């Protein structure tokens, strides 16, 4: 005969309780589509700013290098 252990809580109730706790956690990062898109757009904007800054820095260094060579 096989013994079947009965769990004190059904797994369905535990899962629901876990989901509710996750939703109530204010420090939990958002993972919905909108939040992911907003974060991605902000990252791309930051990268564009960094690229423009590096381009300007490159131009400045190139000009300084030409002045030293002359």
pLDDT at residue 57, as a whole number = 96
pLDDT tens string for the chain (70 positions)? 556 555 555 667 778 888 787 777 777 777 789 889 999 999 999 999 999 999 999 999 999 888 887 7
To 5 degrees, how large is the angle CA 34–CA 43–CA 60?
Answer: 160
d(CA 37, CA 11): 33
Domains in the chain: boundaries = 30-70
pLDDT score of 68? 84
CB burial readout 9-46, b (16+ within 10 A) else e? eeeeeeeeeeeeeeeeeeeeeeeeeeeeeeeeeeeeee
HSE on the CB side for 67, CA within 13 Å?
6
pLDDT of residue 38: 92
pTM: 0.54
């Amino acid at each position: 005969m096989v013994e079947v252990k009965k769990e004190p809580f059904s797994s369905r109730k535990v899962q629901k309780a876990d989901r509710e706790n996750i939703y109530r956690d204010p420090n939990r990062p958002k993972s919905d589509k909108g939040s992911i898109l907003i974060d991605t757009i902000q990252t791309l904007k930051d990268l564009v700013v960094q690229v423009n800054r590096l381009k300007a820095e490159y131009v400045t260094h190139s000009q300084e290098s030409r002045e030293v060579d002359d």
